[in-house]
Every structure is written in C-alpha cells, then in structure tokens.
C-alpha cells in the first residue's frame, strides 16, 4: 500500500479515507478496529467518514463526472486493463489482506483475486459495446435513434464475505460505462476498500472518479441516499438492509440494484452420478465456511438414492479440513464474527429440539465451525427458512422431482438453484419453474462469471450485475430524432 494511505501507531496501521485522489483523515478523527477473524486480534484500524467526508466524496465524484463521462472508450479501457495488471503484480499483498480481514482461506483468496482481474478485463472489453440503436419512424424524412449515456455518480455498498470481488464488480462496470463512484465498504472489511483505491490510483485513474468512505452504515448510507447527485445505489448484503435501502431510494426517486440473501436449493434426482453429486454439493455449501449468498444449504434428494447420498455426503464432509486460513490445505476457516456463531448455534438448537438429526458436526472452536449436516428438517424449524451463512446444510428426502420443486420454491429467497440429473428434459422443466434468478444444471449453486446477468428474484434481489446487463442499470437511454428537410405541421 502507498505509505500515504495510512498512519502507523504502536505497530498498527490506521488506514485513511480516499477522496478526490487524496488520502485523508476524518475531520472527527474517529477510527474503528479491524479484527482478524482467525484469532480475534486487531490487525488494523480505519478512519471513519462523517458527514463532511461523505459530502466531500460526492462533491469529488460529481465534479469528476464531466471529464470521465465524456472520456473516450479507449481511455477507460486502458485504465481498467492497467488496474488488472497492477492486481496481478500485487497478488500476494491482496491475498494476505483477504486472509487477515475476512478469514478467506488461502485458495479462496486466490480465486477471488483471479475473478477480479477477469472482471476488469471483461468490463474493459464491454466499454466499446455501450451502444444505442436506430428505430423505424412514421414521420417522413425523420431519423430516430437512441443513445446510452452514463448516469453520473454511482454509490456502492459492499459486503464482507468477498469484499474485493463484490466491490470491484460494482466499480468496474460503473467506471466502464462512464460513471464516477463512491464506495462504502463493509464495516467488517474496510481495508479492502482502501486497497482498491490504491490499486486504481497506481493505475492512473483520474482524481475523484473513485472515492472510498468507510464508516457507520446508517450515517454513510443515509447521506448517500439523500443526496440527489447520487443517481444509483448498488447494494450487496442482507435482505433486511436491502429492503430499507429500497424504501429510502423510492422516497428520493433514486435508482437501485440489490443483491441480497439466499436459501439456495440443490435438487439431486435419482439418476444422478452419486459421487459427482456429492462433490458438487460439498463445494456448494462449504466454500468460504458457507458465507456465500449462493450456498446450496438446502439439498433435496430423491428417495431411491437418499440413503446412499447421505452416507457418502457425510463421509465427504468428514474429510473437509478446518483450519487457519493461511494453511494452504484449509477449506473451512473462521466465521466473520462471534455473533454469527451464536446465530447458527440457535438454529441448530431449534432444529434438534423439534426433531432434526445432526448427522455430523454441530460444534465449533471459537469461530471455527465444523462442517454440519442435518436430516429430518421440516418447515416448522428456523433453519428450513433462514439463511445460516455458515458451513451447515440440510439434506431433505423427497418422493419425486415435483416435491423437490415445491420445497425449493418454499422460501422468500430466489437467488441461485441447481439440479443434478441426466434427464435433460426434466432438468429444463425444473429450470423454468424454479423461482430463482439463476439455475445451474449438473453443477452446484455457486458459480459466477463477470459477463453474465447475475441476480435474484423475490427477497434475493432486484436488478442484475454483469456484462450487458450492467448497462441497463448504469446508463440512461436517450431518444434523439433528426428531421431531414421540413416537417409538415397540421397548423
């Protein structure tokens, strides 16, 4: 990191805000601790933005929009590609930050970095494809067309679980479309925001185009929502917070996109390859300790293969290594906070008290939760409905695909779903009827690409991120006509 980005006191770095191309302290000089989930130790601190800094960040983004919004596509493309190069060179530093700040295990951190470079390259490639269209007319001598123009200032509110990836996905496509950006990183993982600012700064992004203001969510969020210069707010996080943001956005007639929680179902039909299904299901729920909105935490298995699937899945889960995220062999690291451990404990206590069987796990050492497998889960249990955001999965026996579909759709969420079967006709039928923004056949529920229309339905989301879908959210269509010769008027 640029030495100007932090102060160091007693061996602990205190990271500054990034506004108008400069690193600065909060005028209140209030800081917050960043705690390593692996051991609970304070490894850094972050300056907390107040009203003055948030307004200043929006001022800077608004001022920078004039030049950036009218910049050549090739100029924006060059900055995005240069940032990808900087990331590749600084991969070890970014990897260590992800491990220390959000408990990413070694390989998950590397995957997240790889995705980000792909995202920047994808956004750079799309810069030249923000296109309008011509339209037929009924007026003689008229040419009718539409053009796409950037919105202006876009604000992003990012989550803790994949802070580098999910922040960059918002920023990259917004900048590619010609917008400027104000990032409010998660209070759990603010260093990722500072690092993103430093990467873009090294790549030569003009001052004010990107601004980073960590702070108390309610304070920063309220100021962002109320400022008319912020044209769109893009949010990833809990459904509860997302619903509040949607209400506030409606009050101010502000655009918004929401990517929220999930209780993503995986359906395994009786003709599935059992070993493959077990491997897919395990990856889909244990990646990053289950702290993934797409995690397939509810698995419906047809009755003829249920017992065999359960036996093999439990055996597979027993082999999943739990350990310090710096160990290259670790798959499950620490949960982000103690309160999340307590939340899952409460779910398991409720489920077991109502008749569910904990086939494996159920315990933890500090924030390290064991891979946990339940059977006998029913709709009267919290875990049937609630997102766990931990390495916990429910295996549910179903009579057939229709019962599996009914259980899969029996949720307020609708982010991702998956079906494992060799019956293509049945797979397509289920894919069309699953109430989910994304469906994956013969795969788990966790998959993503920078160029796809990523997003959910019901209480999982509103709007889409990625590729051409981003242009729908991040640009304004303008209709333009040109009259050749003189138009005849009736009076």
Give me the active site residues, please.
259, 293
Give DSSP secondary structure letters for 401-418.
HHHHHHHHHSSS--SEEE
| Inter-residue contact 465 to 423 (CB < 8 Å) | no
Per DSSP, the residues of 110-143 read: HHHHHHHHHHHHHHHHHGGG---EEE--SSTTEE
Name residue 149's beta-bridge partners: 476
3-state secondary structure 262-278: CCCEEEECCCCCHHHHH
CA dist 464 and 26 (Å) reads 34
DSSP 8-state symbol, 454: B
The stretches of 25-126 forming alpha helices (DSSP H) are 51-69, 73-89, 91-102, 106-126
Q: Residue 310: which H helix or E strand, with range? A: helix 303-318
CB atoms within 10 A of CB 300: 24
Q: How many CB atoms lie within 10 A of CB 62?
A: 17
Query: From CA 56, how far away is CA 53, in angstroms rounded?
Result: 5
d(C-alpha 313, C-alpha 373), whole Å: 9
């Amino acid at each position: 990191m640029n030495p100007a980005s932090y102060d160091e006191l007693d061996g602990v770095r205190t990271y500054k805000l990034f506004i108008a191309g400069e690193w600065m302290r909060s005028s209140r000089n209030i800081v917050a601790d960043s705690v390593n989930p692996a051991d609970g130790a304070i490894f850094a601190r972050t300056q907390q933005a107040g009203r003055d800094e948030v307004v200043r960040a929006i001022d800077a983004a608004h001022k920078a929009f004039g030049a950036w919004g009218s910049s050549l596509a090739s100029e924006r493309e060059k900055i995005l590609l240069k940032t990808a190069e900087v990331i590749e060179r600084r991969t070890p530093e970014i990897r260590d930050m992800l491990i220390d700040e959000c408990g990413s295990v070694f390989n998950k951190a590397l995957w997240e970095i790889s995705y980000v470079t792909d995202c920047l390259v994808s956004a750079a490639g799309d810069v030249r494809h923000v296109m309008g269209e011509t339209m037929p007319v009924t007026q003689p001598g008229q040419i009718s067309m539409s053009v796409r123009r950037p919105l202006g200032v876009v604000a992003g509110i990012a989550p803790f679980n994949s802070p580098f990836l999910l922040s960059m996905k918002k920023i990259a496509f917004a900048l590619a479309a010609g917008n400027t950006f104000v990032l409010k990183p998660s209070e759990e993982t603010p260093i990722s925001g500072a690092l993103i600012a430093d990467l873009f700064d090294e790549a030569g992004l003009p001052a004010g185009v990107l601004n980073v203001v960590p702070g108390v969510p309610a304070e920063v969020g309220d100021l962002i929502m109320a400022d008319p210069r912020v044209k769109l707010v893009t949010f990833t996080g809990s459904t509860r917070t997302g619903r509040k943001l949607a209400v506030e956005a409606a009050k101010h007639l502000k655009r918004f996109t929401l990517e929220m929680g999930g209780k993503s179902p995986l359906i395994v039909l009786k003709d599935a390859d059992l070993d493959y299904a077990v491997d897919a299901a395990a990856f889909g729920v244990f990646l990053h300790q289950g702290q993934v909105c797409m995690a397939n935490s509810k698995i419906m298995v047809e009755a003829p293969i249920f017992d065999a699937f359960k036996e093999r899945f439990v055996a597979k889960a027993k082999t999943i290594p739990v350990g310090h995220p710096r160990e290259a062999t670790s798959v499950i690291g620490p949960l982000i906070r103690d309160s999340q451990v307590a939340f899952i404990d409460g779910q398991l206590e409720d489920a077991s008290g109502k008749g569910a069987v904990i086939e494996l796990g159920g315990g933890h050492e500090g924030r390290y939760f064991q891979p946990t497998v339940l059977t006998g889960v029913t709709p009267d249990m919290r875990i049937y409905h609630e997102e766990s955001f931990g390495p916990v999965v429910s295996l549910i026996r179903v009579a057939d695909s229709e019962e599996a579909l009914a259980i899969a759709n029996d949720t307020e969420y609708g982010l991702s779903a998956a079906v494992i079967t060799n019956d293509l006709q049945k797979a397509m039928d289920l894919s069309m009827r699953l109430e989910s923004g994304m469906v994956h056949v013969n795969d788990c529920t966790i998959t993503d690409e920078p160029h796809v229309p990523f997003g959910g339905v019901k209480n999982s989301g509103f709007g889409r991120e990625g590729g051409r879908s981003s242009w729908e959210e991040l640009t304004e269509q303008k209709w333009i006509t040109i009259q050749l010769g003189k138009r005849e008027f009736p009076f």
